[in-house]
Amino acid sequence: MGVLSRIGIALDSELLKRFDRSIARRGYTNRSEAFRDLIRDRLVTEQTAAPDATVVGTVTLIYDHHASGITEKLTEVQHEHHELVVSTSHAHLDHDSCLEVLIVHGKSAKVEQFADLLIGLKGVQHGRLVMTVPAHAIEHAHEHGHKHSHKH
């Protein structure tokens, strides 16, 4: 962490009350830490939106292993993109349902395409990609003034 700066923020008191209740539910004991996390979340979201940003993340998939060819298809797609896959973990949830979590890394755009392929497979019931970067990677990008394109 760099030098600490103190800032004052003018806020609607009703908004602040709601914020305080929200962070209390999440277990924060002070506002500063809650604000820091909000700001980091915003910066991470912006940075991972840049297609050429190097990101890490997880792809979570729920599927029924009885669905025709799903197990083979999942394996095939993962082998085709093996350079993006760090590891996978599989849990047999019940008689039918499987949960698979992949740890992925690579360029944001490639990781997103890969996750979309997996989530879009017939038989995958629900899937979600979470992309992030370590805090020092955020600071690094800003110190060097890289321009990041923005995509929604």
Residue 66 binding Ni ion, by CB under 5 A: no
3-state helix/strand/coil string of 20-88 = HHHHHHCCCCCHHHHHHHHHHHHHHHHHHHCCCCEEEEEEEEEEECCCCCHHHHHHHHHHHCHHHEEEE
Binding span for Ni ion by CB under 5 A among 10-18, 34-42, 96-104, 123-131:
96-104
Residue in 36, 66, 92, 128 binding Ni ion, rule: CB under 5 A: 92
Nearer to Ni ion, 22 or 75 (CB): 75
By beta-carbon proximity to Ni ion, the closer residue of 50 and 98 is 98
The residue assigned the tokens 């998939």 is 61
Terminal CA-CA length for the chain = 29
CB 105 within 8 A of CB 57: yes
| Smallest distance, Ni ion to C-beta of residue 99, A | 8
Q: Least distance to Ni ion from the beta carbon of 128, Å? A: 18
Dist CA 22 CA 66 (whole Å): 42
Q: Does 70 bind Ni ion (CB under 5 A)?
A: no
Q: Give the CA count within 13 Å in the CB-facing half-sphere of 37.
A: 10
We find the least distance from the C-beta atom of residue 119 to Ni ion, in angstroms, to be 17
- What would the x/- binding string for Ni ion be over residues 2 to 21, using CB under 5 A? --------------------
Which residues in the 98-137 window bind Ni ion by CB under 5 A?
98
Which CB sits closer to Ni ion, 67 or 117? 67
Taking CB under 5 A as the rule, does residue 146 contact Ni ion?
no
- Pick from 58, 131, 129, 70: which is nearest to 97 by CA? 70
What residues make contact with Ni ion under the rule CB under 5 A?
Answer: 92, 98
